[in-house]
Amino acid sequence: MNAQQQLSQIPIQQEHVPGAQSVRQWRRFSQYFVVFLLVVIPVSGLFRVDMMAGAFHMLDYQIWFADMSIIMGFWIMVATLLIFMYSWAGSVFCGWICPQNTLSEWANAMTSKMLGRRALMMDITGEEMKVALRKNRWLNKIVLGISFLLVSMLFAIIPLLYFFSPAVIWSFLTLEPLPEAQSLLWIYSVSILVVLIDVAVMRHLVCKYMCVYRIWQHSFKTRETLHIAYDESRSDHCENCTYCEDSCFLDIDPRQTVVFDSCINCGDCVAACDTLHSKSKKMQGPGLLSFAFGQSKPGRNGLTSLLSRTRAATVGAVIGALWFAVGIANYQPYVLLADKAELLQGMNANDYRINISNKRYRAANMDLKIEGLDASEYTLESNDLIWQTAGRKDVIMHISPDLKKGIHRFTVHAKAGDGWQDDFTVYYYAEGMAKAGG
Ligand code: SF4
Ligand code: SF4
């Protein structure tokens, strides 16, 4: 029995994941679906940043930094779900989700089509780009340049959608800018420039040399994490073949992956070897590469193993979910405050500012009432407030200087048209007629 036959007798200690052959199509679907989601999330109003209010815009609600439970609960949940993902599937975020990688892969495919595969061999060495002789035409370079610019212009809109409403963006794109769109030209130009540099020059250099997030994901990898497995028992198929290695844009040899290498489980090498085997008459059987989880410790199945590795994250996820639920249950759609207005222009120590915020992006109205003072002892600028959308309103309350000397307790009572109501109690020290007048 020769060495090769002996190898083939050894059972492979891996738990293979079925369906790896179609991995390329699934990955493309995942990448483009993420880009689709990145557009749908802000356009649908699911999540945006309201810069004017210094708050998050989620559905119809304004979430302030003061809504600690919602913000912290949400981020703890997201962070722990990501930790689950890193622990179970390694750096799949890079290969299946990251839009920077999606863009880089598209740029590589375009470059390869227009200038040949060797034009992809760019690195920080500054080596000159090698264009295939039969593709070395101006037309190819111009088409490539224009496609880079158009895609950059398209992608550059995505970050803007998170800071400006679709109506503002649309008014800017149709050259009929609303007042809020005045600063957009500069922001959009910078955004295009950043994406263009990424697409034309940086691409996977960002992944290789700049991305800290990739290193963070690696820190959660273990031997039990999803990785590329190689069927060594049929390694004779690999004589004179480096197809999988050539297909890896991170320059890894997929036949020798180790736990802490930079593989992002994109599966391109799996698809490459599968394709090779499906086309070759000499090579029998499926490809030699597949996705696999490493062996769990004895007595533990995959799920038990995952849960034991992510015990802290599981506790964190439960705490995050509870905190988030408490925040949602206690969410206040309006905020009522009252404070001294003497620092405001034209005001004095007898003036109070009543500040009311509508935290929902919808029309609202509210009645204000003062309890604890006689109607002759104060004047209220307005006691009927109307909003068209979320926003803050100030109502100035002037307290009469004739108020008897001493501490007075009064309450600002607010009642919204939708039934919400709240009180704010103020203790006011009146200095008496002589002092106030003096
Ligand atoms: S593509 Fe398949 S056959 Fe070719 S070197 Fe890679 S693992 Fe071996
Ligand atoms: S080794 Fe395979 S799965 Fe890993 S990054 Fe390279 S091509 Fe992708």
What's the confidence (pLDDT) of residue 15? 39
CB–CB of 359/62 below 8 Å? yes
Query: Structural domains in the chain?
Result: 3-15+219-325 (no CATH), 29-215 (no CATH), 334-437 (2.60.40.10)
User: What are the DSSP calls for 46-104, one per residue?
Assistant: SSEEETTTTEEEETTEEE-TT-HHHHHHHHHHHHHHHHHHHHHHSSHIIIII-HHHHHH
What's the confidence (pLDDT) of residue 123? 60
What's the confidence (pLDDT) of residue 297? 58
Protein residue with least CA distance to atom 1, ligand 2? 254
H/E segment holding residue 416: strand 406-416
What's the confidence (pLDDT) of residue 122? 60
Q: What one-letter code names the amino acid at 406?
A: G
Distance CA(430)–CA(438), nearest Å, equals 13
Runs of H (alpha helix) within 162-309: 166-173, 184-197, 204-205, 212-218, 243-247, 268-279, 302-309
SS3 state of residue 328: helix
What's the confidence (pLDDT) of residue 394? 94
What's the confidence (pLDDT) of residue 50? 93
Task: For tokens 């989620």, name the residue.
Answer: 58
Instruction: Give the atom of ligand 1 at the shortest distance from the alpha carbon of 235.
Output: 8
CB–CB of 342/119 below 8 Å? no
Does 228 sit in the ligand 2 pocket, CB within 6 Å? yes
CB–CB of 321/78 below 8 Å? no
Closest CA to 413 of 366, 344, 346, 361: 366
CB–CB of 134/234 below 8 Å? no
What's the confidence (pLDDT) of residue 167? 94
Q: Among positive and negative, which fits the CA dihedral 26, 29, 31, 37?
A: negative
What's the confidence (pLDDT) of residue 96? 93
Please list, in sequence order, all residues whose beta carbon lies within 8 angstroms of the beta carbon of residue 156, skipping any fewer than 6 positions away. Answer: 188, 191, 192, 194, 195
Distance CA(324)–CA(75), nearest Å, equals 9
Residue 340, both tokens: 């001294």
Neighbouring C-beta atoms of residue 88, cutoff 10 Å: 19
Please list, in sequence order, all residues whose beta carbon lies within 8 angstroms of the beta carbon of residue 266, skipping any fewer than 6 positions away. Answer: 27, 94, 95, 96, 249
CA distance readout (Å), 401 to 6, 183, 197:
102, 47, 65
Does 273 sit in the ligand 2 pocket, CB within 6 Å? no
pLDDT tens track of the chain, all 438 residues?
A: 443 444 344 333 333 444 444 778 889 999 999 999 999 999 999 999 998 899 999 998 999 999 999 999 999 999 998 988 888 888 899 999 999 999 999 999 999 999 988 887 666 566 677 888 888 899 999 999 999 999 999 999 999 999 999 999 999 999 999 988 988 999 999 999 999 999 998 888 888 888 888 888 888 887 788 889 999 999 999 998 999 998 887 888 999 877 677 788 899 899 889 888 888 888 888 889 988 887 655 555 666 666 667 778 888 899 999 999 999 999 999 999 999 987 777 778 889 999 999 999 999 999 999 999 999 999 999 999 999 999 999 999 999 998 999 999 999 999 999 999 999 999 999 887 644 433
Task: For tokens 């689950």, name the residue.
Answer: 84
What's the confidence (pLDDT) of residue 299? 57
Protein residue with least CA distance to atom 7, ligand 2? 248
307 CA → ligand 2 middle, Å: 26
| Closest ligand relative to 253 C-alpha | 2
28 CA → ligand 2 middle, Å: 15
| Closest ligand relative to 289 C-alpha | 1
List residues near ligand 1 (CB under 6 A). Answer: 237-238, 241-244, 255, 272-273, 276, 287-289
CB–CB of 309/224 below 8 Å? yes
Mutate to test the pocket of ligand 2, among 17, 214, 228 (most ligand atoms within 8 A of CB): 228
Q: Which pTM was predicted?
A: 0.81
CB–CB of 93/266 below 8 Å? no
CB–CB of 269/254 below 8 Å? yes
Does 261 sit in the ligand 2 pocket, CB within 6 Å? no
Does 268 sit in the ligand 2 pocket, CB within 6 Å? yes
